[in-house]
Chain A
């Protein structure tokens, strides 16, 4: 069965420093993985997705994620945090071949001035 675990409920970084949001997945076959972002009082938005092409995936707003099969991880990174990155981030995996997504619990990213 597919599942996804976000290892941190909150991450706090200073503006201009790197961001790392961690996600581990469990899947019986090669998964499709996503990161979605939810800014305060705004709808959820797709940040990036991995669908078995390149293992390093680039998304919007300077974010990228690397699929590591050996570590069953799909961590989200950004070289330099900006105040506008403050939001909640969700790691998501597809459940089997149907239409359903399995969502992680979310990580709140806090940016300190």
Chain B
């Protein structure tokens, strides 16, 4: 059974803290993605990676960075958390090649920044 796991389901941090969100997939997928999901806005792409050490900005990269040192792991970093980064964060992975390949999602991390 395919699996994408995220390090935490719920996380509470304070403004200014550095936050790490970890995502691991066991499907040997080349592509990995980080989204945030907010009510009424759908999913918005923050960053994606199509290979180890490769990354591309999505629609809303400001305030975030990513790291992909190993194929199975993709980390999202909030350098200095702010209250407007309170959101649900979703990680996904897919096979390389066509964007039409199905994306497989983790359960999400609900981050609250106080």
Contact = CB atoms under 8 A, between A and B. Distances in A.
A46 B104 CA distance: 8
B105 A98 contact: no
Query: Do most interface residues of chain B lie in helix, strand or loop, or is the interface mixed?
Result: strand
Interface string A31-70: 0100000000111111001010000000000000000000
Interface residues of B, number: 24
B9 to A, nearest CB: 9
The size bracket of the interface on A is 20 to 34
Interface string A65-100: 000000000000000000000000010001101111
Q: Name the 8 nearest CB pairs between A and B, nearest first.
A: A103-B42, A44-B105, A43-B105, A103-B43, A94-B99, A32-B100, A46-B102, A105-B42
Interface of B: 4, 31, 33, 40-45, 48, 50, 56, 58, 90, 92, 94, 99-100, 102-103, 105-108
